[in-house]
Amino acid sequence: MTEKLTQAEMEEKEAEREDLLENETDLLNSLLEAHNYKQEKHQKIDIIRDGKRYFSFSVKGIDDETQEAIRKKYTSIEGKGRKQQQKFDGVGFSNSLIYNATIDEDKQKLWNNKELRKQLDVLSPADVVGAVLLSGEKDRVGEVIHELSGFNDDYDDPDVDPDLDLAKN
């Protein structure tokens, strides 16, 4: 037995379908905006010591794959059998994290500068980071990178409604 829909019921179903498509389009647009925000958001870092500004560079957040690749690169296993231990090179990780999070334009001017590497007598661009920045500076830059990557406990974005529920781990 087939059921015939009235004109009003058909119009209601069409309106529901249009609402669903509109919501889907809104969701898609929001997801694309979130992706673009992640790609474009960066923060300028000024290196200031004793009131003197030495230089500036900008960093962006990094994705999971990049962070994991850096972590693996600076983690090794030493020893054999039951005496195996994982060793983590925190300094190398920090230098590489900052290098990878630096925006391309600044990366080319600063860390990839061959003349600077030659004068500092270092091999890699990440080594330039280690030679130029102080330990505390690297810690502060790392905190900025982690914030830009979404690892902040206190979400304080003026563009977002404070009553909005945010995803928490």
Give the residue, 29 or 48, on which the prediction is more confident: 48
Question: Of all residues in the chain, what percent are helix, strand and coil, respectively (each to 5)?
Answer: 55, 15, 30
Mean pLDDT confidence for 28-46: 77
Question: Is-contact 64 151, C-beta < 8 A?
Answer: no
Confidence band, pLDDT 50/70/90 cuts, at residue 40: confident
20-29, 89-98, 114-123: lowest mean pLDDT where?
Answer: 20-29
Q: What is the pLDDT of residue 165?
A: 47
Burial of residue 116 (CB within 10 Å: 0-12, 13-18, 19+) is middle
pTM score above 0.75:
no
Q: 10 Å Cβ neighbour count for 119?
A: 10
Mean pLDDT confidence for 84-102: 95
